[in-house]
Structure 1
Amino acid sequence: MRRYGQSLYHPQSPMTRCVNFLCAVLLTLILIIGVILFVLWLSLRPHRPKFYLADFSIPVANANRQSGLANLPVRFTVNEHNPNQKIGMYYDVIIASVFYDDQLVATGPVMNPFYQMPEGDTPVQGTLTATGPVPTDPSWGRFAGEVSAGGVGMRLVLTSKVQFQVKLWDTKRHHMKVECDLTMQGDGTLRPQDKDSQCTLYF
């Protein structure tokens, strides 16, 4: 039985104090290293590029002609932006395809491989040759009617492979797909509301 007035305090041995001190130092170092690694991860984490539709045109004023859109030029400009401050990007060949509903209007390579500097901007410009729709296609009547009405919904798709350059090492190559939904006016030009609209990016 403890006598009245006897202290409950039991002094720690030097070994125990040393172990407690080392544990505190170790936990502090782990916390500091964790914060440093988190900050580095935030600064080196690649951000995806952004794409904006700047222009699109097909000379379809004579949409009712006998050959439809066959052999007509399809021109477009999509502005690419690299939002990373310290990370560059390598692009493979960019392939462009234009669709009316599910029908392929035109397709082909539009840009050779290139390197995009950090915070850089590059216009992706292309001129393709349309293969349709033509008057013999089931979709021609609907297409010509929408042209006459002054608005045709279309889709521009860009595909490529992208590799991020992080300091002295490169990431794996990512398959990239960019979809730009747009409305073409009756004169074959881009509807003003769609100018500089952001495209959807899939990785």
Structure 2
Amino acid sequence: MSTKDCGHHDEGRQILRRILAAVVAFIFLILLIIFLIWIILRPTKPRFMLQDATVFAFNLSTQQHTPPLLTPTPNTLTLTLQVTLSSHNPNARIGVYYHALHVHASYRSQQISLPTALPNTYQGHKDYAIWSPFLYGAAVPVSPYTLNSLQQDQDAGVVLVNVKVNGKVKWKVGTWISGKYHIDVSCPAYFRFAGDHGGGNVGVVAPAVKLQLLQSCSVDV
């Protein structure tokens, strides 16, 4: 191999090293910028709380004995609730936009009310937002498993209902606004329960019972 060929190989290796060094430096710079942004902004997801719930109706109708030739009557649940939800933006430099939020009630992973839409809301730095939606479920069919669980909860004197919120959020830093991210919120609510199995109906202690809950919610973004 000639001296001229060796010189070309050495020059090629130097160019390759420079390219690799530039790529590594660029990646390091990007990671450093991301780290500095995180240190400065310290982004934190919103914090939700279920403040209270007013129970206007929560009645379970069990099927009665049906003649063999007739279609059995399903077990149904009818409920009317009003809940008060609050959200706190803990970020000092990040605003939050809420879009297409819907709230519904769920019992043991079964949705038991229609979804109720919440208004689009902007939440500034360290700001709070409060919603008080009504949740309705008219003669919602329930499975035999759900029926048994509700009757067991009745015997225990309390029923756990999850108030769930889902929708989209966007982050605002200065004039920059991010894309939309999905948000899921779950708030446990314990309701007092009373009734009589023999009568075929189960209900709350009294109509329009207001419960002060102040229950923290789990939030996934």
Q: TM-score surpassing 0.5?
A: yes
Corresponding letter in the other structure for 2:218: T
- 1:9 corresponds in structure 2 to none
Please point out which of 183, 196, 199 is paired with 2:214.
Answer: 196
The structure 1 residue matched to 2:53, chosen from 42, 56, 80, is: 56
Q: State the aligned residue count.
A: 167
Q: Is the 8 A contact 1:99 1:156 kept in 2?
A: yes
Identity of aligned residues (%): 24
Rg bigger for which structure? 1
Per the TM alignment, residue 191 of structure 1 is displaced from its structure 2 partner at its CA by: 6.3
**Do the aligned residues in 2 keep the contact of 1:57 with 1:184 (CA within 8 Å)?**
no
Partners of 1:177 and 1:142 in 2: CA distance? 25
More strand by share: 2
**Separation (CA, whole Å) in 1 of partners of 2:43 and 2:169:** 11
Show structure 1 runs of 5+ residues with no match: 1-33
> Match of 2:45, SS?
coil
Deviations 1:44-79 (A, max 9, x none): 242210001111233347656888542x31211111
4+ residue segments displaced more than 6 Å? none
CA distance in 2, matches of 1:146, 1:63: 12
What are the ranges of 5 or more consecutive residues in structure 2 without an aligned counterpart?
1-31, 64-74, 194-203
**Matched residue type, 1:140:** L
Per-residue CA distance 1:161-188 (angstroms, 9 max, x = gap)? 0001011211221100001122111236
Q: CA separation in 1, counterparts of 2:34 and 2:150?
A: 56
Structure 1 residue 89 and structure 2 residue 89: aligned? Answer: no
CA distance in 2 between counterparts of 1:37 and 1:64 reads 56
Give the deviation of 1:37 after TM superposition: 8.0
CA distance in 1 between counterparts of 2:175 and 2:58 reads 52
Q: State the SS of the aligned residue for 2:115.
A: strand
Following the alignment from structure 2 to structure 1, what is the Cα–Cα distance between the partners of residues 167 and 88? Answer: 15
CA distance in 1, matches of 2:189, 2:35: 40
Paired position in structure 2 for 1:73: 80
TM-score w.r.t. the length of structure 2 is 0.63
Task: Check conservation: 1:110, 1:125, Cα contact below 8 A.
Answer: no
Distance in 2 (CA, whole Å) between partners of 1:61 and 1:177 is: 25
Residues in 1 aligned to 2:45 and 2:187: alpha-carbon distance in whole angstroms: 16
The residue type paired with residue 55 of structure 1 is D
Change (3 A) 1:89 1:65: same
Is the contact made by 1:51 and 1:199 (CA closer than 8 Å) also made in structure 2?
yes
Q: Separation in 2 of the partners of 1:175 and 1:37? A: 22
Letter in 2 for 1:151: V
Alpha-carbon distance change, 142 to 40 in structure 1, aligned in 2, over 3 angstroms:
closer
- Check whether the contact 2:50–2:214 (CA below 8 A) recurs between aligned residues: yes
Higher alpha-carbon deviation: 37-46 or 72-81? 37-46
Residue type of the alignment partner of 1:43: I
Aligned partner of 1:158: which letter? V
| Cα RMSD for the two superposed structures | 3.2
Rounded to whole Å, the distance in 2 between the matches of 1:122 and 1:133 is: 31
TM-score, structure 1 normalization = 0.68
Letter of the structure 1 residue corresponding to residue 215 of structure 2: S
